[in-house]
Amino acid sequence: MTTLAELYERFVPSDCPVALRAYDGSAAGPRDAESVIELRSPLALRYLATAPGQLGLARAYVTSTLEVRGDLHATLHALLAHARGGLRARDLAAALRALGPWVLRRPPLPPEEAPTPWRRGLVRHTRRRDADAIAHHYDLSNRFYELVLGPSMVYSCGVFPTADASLDEAQAEKVDLVCRKLDLRPGQRLLDVGAGWGSLVRHAAEHYGVRALGVTLSRRQAEWATAAIAAAGLDGRAELRLLDYRDIGETGFDAIASVGAMEHVGTAQLDAHFSGLAARLRPEGRMLNHTITRSSGHHGGRMGPVIDRYVFPDGELQGPGTVVSALHDHGLEVRHTESLREHYAMTLREWGANLERHWAEAVAEVGERRARMWRLYMAMSRVGFDLDRIEVHQMLAVRTGPRGAARMPLRPDWERARASTPGVALR
């Protein structure tokens, strides 16, 4: 009879430093391994067999039928770094023959999993479908996000001024960097698309003297942000609306920021997305687009099944060249772009540490299965940035005015000293 350890060795190279301990008593891999995968029950095999690859792994991990002993990020990093280039059909067939047909009986799916894409509707990125997708992820629990994100309540990568900077320092630097790149001045009007919990609109209003409008599709984000704006005494200077950005009526903004929002737009909608934003921006106004990107334009736009089913339903990523082209196609001349890939890996490291520090309270807020999914999602994403499977870019563009006027500096000047001490408005 074939043991589970023997099957494991078919899929994992012998030099991989991750061991296996299985419920049938068999073991594989280094005896002194710091990373150990435990297969706790036959149910784990059914998840893995009926959805080979990352989705089956996620289902088994979320339901605790599969456990990882040791650092989850290090374990996933080792498995992916030593991967043979995908699951081979002959190995899968041999494993199924050895296990028997029972393993193909699909087990109940975790209730935290979103429906398959075809069950969400015939057309992607309608207003209703986008609102449902945002609610699935962002309307989870404001307290849970406080535990994971920390006082900044910024859910995008920080910019670490030094390797030993704190997460709060990195997020304060990122928010202020956005303001500096946009060259915000007192009295100007800022639009923040996908404004989250309102950290940017509060910081821009308080420290740069602008009138800032943010929009979000998350009801809980809007409620939290509105309360934070009032507590900071910024009513009349900063506003957060529960609104689809496509329904914004105002135009003539001096600057537009989109930080971590374009991932929800969809490749087919990029033209409409950027043309709509360009129409709301005054000539010579600046737009900053901060988004996760593919490392290559050859990859498909849609996210993998784990992210689509558990994290960001209908999310899509594009190569940076695709995004730059779409900006230019609608009168937004890209003047500067930079990759912050390593910064996002560091940010995810800190979010993961926050989750572990507050594990009991996080579980009380959202349940153990969802907390485990977040642990897995952040570790997987961190590995993706580590290995350059995914990247993140800030792209600064300007809507050129008559005869090409742009009012841009001859050289980037946003690394100058901050306009004021950052971080105050983030707390």
**pLDDT at residue 48 is higher than 50:** yes
**pLDDT at residue 139 is higher than 90:** no
Provide the mean pLDDT of the chain.
92
Tokens of residue 196, six digits: 């989250």
d(CA 106, CA 270): 37
**pLDDT at residue 423 is higher than 80:** no
pTM for this prediction: 0.92
**pLDDT at residue 422 is higher than 70:** no
Which residues on adjacent β-strands are paired with residue 281? 253
Which residues on adjacent β-strands are paired with residue 39? 22, 66
In tens, the pLDDT along 324-347 reads 999 999 999 999 999 999 999 999
Q: Are 421 and 175 in contact (CB under 8 A)?
A: no
The pLDDT, as a whole number, for residue 13 is 87
Q: What is the CATH number of domain 130-426?
A: 3.40.50.150
Residue 420 vs residue 36, higher pLDDT: 36
The pLDDT, as a whole number, for residue 135 is 85
Give the sheet arrangement for strand 66-69, strand by strand.
Answer: 27-28, 18-22, 35-39, 66-69
The pLDDT, as a whole number, for residue 219 is 95
In tens, the pLDDT along 265-306 reads 999 999 999 999 999 999 999 999 999 999 887 766 778 889
Residue 16 vs residue 1, higher pLDDT: 16
**pLDDT at residue 418 is higher than 60:** no
Q: How confident is the model at residue 253 (pLDDT cuts 50, 70, 90)?
A: very high
d(CA 319, CA 337): 13
What are residue 192's phi and psi, to 5 degrees? -115, 110
Of 49-63, 89-103, 181-195, 283-297, the poorest mean pLDDT is in: 89-103
Q: Do the bridges between strand 332-339 and strand 390-399 make them parallel or antiparallel, or are there none, so unpaired?
A: antiparallel
The pLDDT, as a whole number, for residue 84 is 62
d(CA 144, CA 363): 9
d(CA 406, CA 282): 11
Tell me which residue of 268, 404, 272 sits closest to 335, measured CA to CA: 404
**pLDDT at residue 104 is higher than 70:** yes
Write down the domain spans for the chain.
Answer: 4-104, 130-426
In tens, the pLDDT along 180-217 reads 999 999 999 999 999 999 999 999 999 999 999 999 99
